[in-house]
Amino acid sequence: MTITDLLSRLDGVRSRAHGKWSARCPAHPDKSPSLSIREVDGKVLLHCFGGCTPEEIVGALGLDLKDLFTDSPTPHGQRPIAKLQKLDLVDVAFRFEMAALDRRLRAEWTLKAVENFNGDNLSDEDRDRLMKVVARAYADRDQAEFLETVADDFRLKAFHERTNRHAA
């Protein structure tokens, strides 16, 4: 995925500075452009000032976090592909692990908080809300598991890369 591909999927894209854009966030009803997009060293960084996570944003675009690694030069032609090939796999794995940990902690806090909660006196509306929060916690846990698998993948790749290099 190139940065141009990504930008073409977004609404209200405006170029801010070299390698920086703003757009309407696809993950929440966004009137002002709350999404900021940056391209740094073959990686696209997304930040929504409305509080959406990068996963939610790429999810809303039908993409995956892995798609945020751009595989060709930017429109400015600044980043050679070779740079991406030398991506520090251990660093990438670490980032995925941190994202997983983030989800896992959020899920655990939520589930712990509702564990001893007596919902008897809740209105239907509040009960619905509570169910949504719990569902979200389980979804977080699933996502964490997925991110951990991705992290493991990268670590394995990094390991093989190193062994191959030593063997050669």
Residue 79 is given by DSSP the state: S
Residue 12 or 50 having the CB closest to Zn ion: 50
Amino acid (1-letter code) at residue 88: D
Select 64 or 152, whichever has its Cβ closest to Zn ion: 64
- Told to check if 27 binds Zn ion by CB under 5 A, we report yes
Q: Of 12, 13, 38, 50, which one interacts with Zn ion (CB under 5 A)?
A: 50
Q: Check residue 6 for interaction with Zn ion (CB under 5 A).
A: no
> Is 10 among the residues that bind Zn ion (CB under 5 A)?
no
Q: In angstroms, what is the C-alpha Rg of the chain?
A: 19
Amino acid at 168: A
Check: CB of residue 15 under 8 Å from CB of residue 3. Answer: no
Neighbours of 167 (CB within 10 A): 6
47 binds Zn ion (CB under 5 A): no
Please classify residue 81 by burial: count the beta carbons closer than 10 Å to its beta carbon, then call 0-12 exposed, 13-18 middle and 19+ buried: exposed
Which range, of 46-54, 92-100, 105-113, 128-136, touches Zn ion by CB under 5 A? Answer: 46-54
Q: How far is the CB of 152 from Zn ion (least distance, A)?
A: 29
Query: How far is 90 from 70, CA to CA, in rounded Å?
Result: 18
Among 10, 25, 44, 151, binds Zn ion (CB under 5 A): 25
**Does 54 participate in binding Zn ion (rule CB under 5 A)?**
no
Q: Which residues bind Zn ion (CB under 5 A)?
A: 25, 27-28, 48, 50, 52
